[in-house]
Chains A and B, each alone.
Chain A
Amino acid sequence: MNKLSDSTVKNKYIIRISLISSVILSIISWGYVLFESRYSLPGLFSLHTVTETKEFISKLMGFEQNLSLAYQFNSWFELRHLAFETLLMSICSIGIAGIIALTTCIFASRNFHDDTIFGYSRPLLKIVYFIVRNIYSFTRAIPELILAIILMLFLTPGIWVAAIALAIHNVGVLGKLYSECIEDMDITALKSLQSSGARGWQLLSYAVLPQLLPKFLTYLLYRWEVVIRTTVVVGLVSAAGLGREFRLSFSYFHYEDLGLLLLWYIVLVIIVDLLCSLLRQFITVRY
């Protein structure tokens, strides 16, 4: 009883301290941002910004030169190859990430090296766990854009750079989610298989996957939605898909093309959202 109340008091303090410190950090950060942008701040809240915004949006829509979508439908339609390339890139990267995360997640879950399943702890697997976990957090921490910039040093610019950069980042994210799933799973089936002599890979394919595959696929589809949003950003540096055209038309100040590209981008995001909700019906129907 005493112990319980102790832990609740501790939790209360943890929450209170983190909330207060995050509020203080936010206030400091606003002070810093306002101090750093002191020259542009009066300009930000003025009529000038409003007119600039209006002008920019009308440029984006192509109203200036009668180049809006109604006039430019053909050139919009011609960009479909780039949009298709972007879609392929996202599918490929999420596939690679899913395969690698699926095959390595079992080594990154805590209950596979301590005594919850096997009844004794296994030091060799503990070392593997440590290595794989650290690789996951390293790849998860580095954003896709920085990975793509680094990969551009030794790969030829193109779709593969973007796909590999996205895949490396998503291996970390998916691997962490998957290994947390395995740590929380119901281990009775696992234990009975293990007691009848099944080992690592057999346990993964006959005990873990049948139970957790719906969850894994849900996470995979959720990450696909995120990846299609990031493909454009990675394409900015790796010269692939819509991102390349995006950067080029930014450099040439072709704002009306930019509007068309943004439209394609939103269309792609909507298509992937719809596909994901369709594929999710396969997963949720039995659960």
Chain B
Amino acid sequence: MKNVNHFFEHKKILTLILVSAFLWSSIRIFYTDQTLISYDGISTLFNFLWSVFYLDVTPEFLVICLKAVVQTILYAFGGLSLAIIIAIPIGILSSGTCIYNKYVNNTVVTTLRFVLACTRSIHELIWALLLVSIIGLSPMVAVLALTIPYVGILGRIFAEQLRDVPQQPIRLLLSNGASYTKAVMYGRIPLAMPNIISYIFYRLECGIRSAAIMSFIGIQGIGYQIHLSLLDLRFGQVWTGLICLTILVVVVDAWSSIVRKALTS
């Protein structure tokens, strides 16, 4: 055991591992892959970059973009709200704080953690592809596909936050005769609430980005508009869509950082 600890103290080993992994992988890709830039690629690139100056700002397209932005926001909020509703009971159960019986608690915690890890490890677009082949193409798919991985992420964070609250108030409640469930209800949840809300607002931005890429399976939204304009090779419209998406994400980010600052002070 001591030897192992000694091994991990050498920082040079870490540097060596990281640098050699990066060099090896890039050299490997460089030699196996074909030429980087496709035929006529450079002129297309300049064409694409130059069309920043030809943004499509006609009122019709701006209205389309605004509608798409609103759709993206709505899908993100729908998916996140359902994920929060599902993740709260799962998070409480998998925090291992509300069941008194030790064996029941251990089995519940390990199974729930495994389920959360599985839902978390698959990307939301893959979930969407799988769901489309089950329930067909509808806005429900976007919402459910957002919900499933976010339950995994939020459930884990809820469990961690509920476990890491200051222990003194909880012990006081338990010694005064409260049951484990009541200690969770009146002790742990109020104490962990600010952190949980701030994390949810942090995830909002990621949710919006995830909702935007649902375009790939044909769900409406700002990503869909960008994709369509790109297929038409109208680069001015593509840039307008990209700028709309950036403004949306920046605004949501600013909102969430204001809320988080208000929660911590």
Contact = CB atoms under 8 A, between A and B. Distances in A.
> Are A and B co-members of a single complex?
yes
Interface of A: 7-8, 10-12, 14-15, 18-19, 22, 25-26, 28-30, 32-33, 36-37, 39-41, 43-44, 49, 52-53, 56, 87-89, 91-92, 95-96, 137-138, 140-143, 145-146, 149-150, 153-156, 158-160, 163, 217, 229-230, 232-233, 236-237, 246, 250, 262, 265-266, 269-270, 279, 281-283, 285-286
Interface of B: 5, 8-11, 13-14, 17-18, 21-22, 25-26, 28-29, 32-38, 41-42, 44-45, 48, 73-78, 80-81, 118, 121-123, 125-126, 129-130, 133-136, 138-140, 143, 197, 201, 204, 209-210, 212-213, 215-216, 223, 226-227, 230, 238, 242, 245-246, 248-250, 253, 255, 258-259, 262-263, 265
Nearest to A169: B209
B157 to A, nearest CB: 14
The 6 A-B residue pairs whose C-beta atoms are closest, nearest first, are A95-B22, A154-B41, A26-B81, A141-B249, A29-B74, A11-B262
B15 to A, nearest CB: 9
Nearest to B208: A141
Contact of A43 (B123, B135, B250): B135
Contacts of A14: 258-259, 262
B41 A26 contact: no
> Chain A interface mostly helix, strand, loop or mixed?
helix
B212 A25 contact: no
25 contacts: A15-B262, A22-B204, A28-B77, A29-B75, A29-B76, A33-B74, A36-B138, A37-B140, A40-B138, A52-B134, A91-B21, A91-B22, A91-B25, A95-B18, A141-B209, A141-B246, A146-B213, A146-B215, A149-B227, A149-B230, A154-B44, A160-B29, A230-B123, A233-B123, A262-B126
A15 B48 contact: no
Contacts of A19: 197
A22 B77 contact: yes
Nearest to B233: A153
Contacts of B121: 229, 265-266, 269-270
Given A91-B21, A140-B249, A154-B38, 9 more contacts: A11-B265, A14-B258, A43-B135, A95-B25, A146-B227, A150-B48, A237-B216, A279-B14, A282-B14
B36 to A, nearest CB: 5
A153 to B, nearest CB: 5
